[in-house]
Amino acid sequence: MSLRIYNLHNHTPFSDGAYTIDELCQAHLDRASLRNHEVLGIGIADHLFCTPSSREVHNEKEFERLFAKETRNYVAMVKEARQQWAGKLQVYCGAEINWPLNKGLLDSVRAMLDGIDYVLFEFVDWAGLTQLANQARRWPCPVVLAHTDVSLQFPNTSLDQVVRTLANARIVYELSAKLMPLANQDRWFRVVPNHRVQVAIGTDTHDDLSCLDALPELHEYVLKFGLGEKIFVPAVRAAEAVSVS
Ligand SMILES: [Zn+2]
Ligand SMILES: [Zn+2]
């Protein structure tokens, strides 16, 4: 029986990745190490507001002028790839947001997520996580905590409190290839299954496709803790029609 997996964290040259969506899709289908696994879908999760055209912005107007069109182009690019790969691989349109960089402009960020299936937040400290948790349900798509070693990132907070915060806010936890060796995550993963927290799997692919070799190990780790039913699979969101007013 083949194991079905999703890799929801890949970058392209839109931000700081080296491989195009087509190359990423092909690599997931070709990778010899994934032979016992059926990759059902991959997510593109580029840094939306940290791209080659980024510069310092001081207010929402500047932010929107700089990024609104670019973000629409990004969604269109991923959608096109989704159509091309339909039947072979599901392509999801994610986004990664740098919390410290963008936490002051969250209203603008939220307004720009038309057509984005899920949003990953990275470098979230405890104050940030509580803030995010308070508003997570107002986001138009699922919110995911990206590549976070919980005990290092929230050293003064109990694992129990972290997991309850994620569960109450329906924030998805991403198990990342960046957190290897996975044995360091055992303590956290013994806590996670007792709560309603979904787990996403991601390799954070940038310029080295060998990270894809970690997918079977990540997937088996999640299964080992009985989380098979709680693996996060995004829903494809239709972009809302742009309202002309
Ligand atoms: Zn990241
Ligand atoms: Zn990333």
The CATH number that applies at residue 225 is 3.20.20.140
Maximum CA pair distance of the chain?
Answer: 54
Residues bordering ligand 2, an ion, CB closer than 5 Å: 96, 204
Q: Is residue 225 part of a domain?
A: yes
Q: Report whether 245 contacts 211 (CB < 8 A).
A: no
Mapped onto helix, strand or coil, the DSSP state of residue 238 is coil
Distance of CA 100 to the CA centre of its chain: 17
| C-alpha 123 – ligand 1 centre gap (Å) | 8
CA of 62 to the centre of ligand 2 (A): 24
Rg (CA), the chain: 17
Is 242 among the domain residues?
A: no
Ligand of minimum distance to the alpha carbon of 205: 2
Q: Which helix (H) or strand (E) holds 219?
A: helix 215-224
**DSSP code for 19:** S
Centroid of ligand 1 to alpha carbon of 1 (angstroms): 32
Residue 237 lies in a domain: no
Interstrand relation of 143-145 and 172-176 (parallel, antiparallel or unpaired):
parallel
Helix 159-169 and helix 126-135, axial crossing angle in degrees, nearest 10: 20
The domain of 179 spans 3-230
**Which ligand sits closest to the CA of 204?**
2
Task: Count the Cβ atoms, other than its own, within 10 Å of residue 89.
Answer: 20
The amino acid that residue 239 corresponds to is A
Q: What is the pLDDT of residue 80?
A: 97
| Beta bridge partners of residue 55, listed in sequence order | none
pLDDT, one tens digit per residue, over 127-180 is 999 999 999 889 999 999 999 999 999 999 999 999 999 999 999 999 999 999
Backbone angles phi, psi at 200, to 5 degrees: -100, 155
Is residue 138 domain-resident?
yes
- Chain centroid to CA 19: 17
Q: Are 164 and 134 in contact (CB under 8 A)?
A: no
For residues 59 and 55, the model is more confident at 59
What's the CA-to-centroid distance between 147 and ligand 1, angstroms? 7
* Residue 55, CA atoms < 13 Å, CB-side half-sphere: 4
What secondary structure does DSSP assign to 141-160, as a single string?
Answer: S-EEE-S--HHHHSTTS-HH
Q: Is it the case that residue 53 has pLDDT exceeding 80? A: no
Residue 239 lies in a domain: no
Instruction: Specify if 117 maps to a domain.
Output: yes
Query: Residue 245 domain-assigned?
Result: no
- Tell me how far the alpha carbon of residue 245 lies from the centroid of ligand 2, in angstroms: 35
DSSP 90-150: EEEEEEEEEHHHHGGGHHHHHHT-TT--EEEEES--HHHHHHHHHHGGGSSS-EEE-S--H
Q: State which amino acid sits at residue 65.
A: R
pLDDT at residue 245 is higher than 60: no
The model scores a pTM over 0.85: yes
Question: pLDDT (tens digit, 9 = 90+) per residue, 22-49?
Answer: 999 999 999 988 988 999 999 999 999 8
Q: Is residue 236 part of a domain?
A: no
CA of 11 to the centre of ligand 2 (A): 6
- How far away, in angstroms, is 46 Cα from ligand 2 center? 7
Looking at the 3D structure of the chain, how many domains does it have?
1
105 contacts 61 by C-beta, under 8 angstroms:
no
| E strand or H helix at 73 | helix 60-85
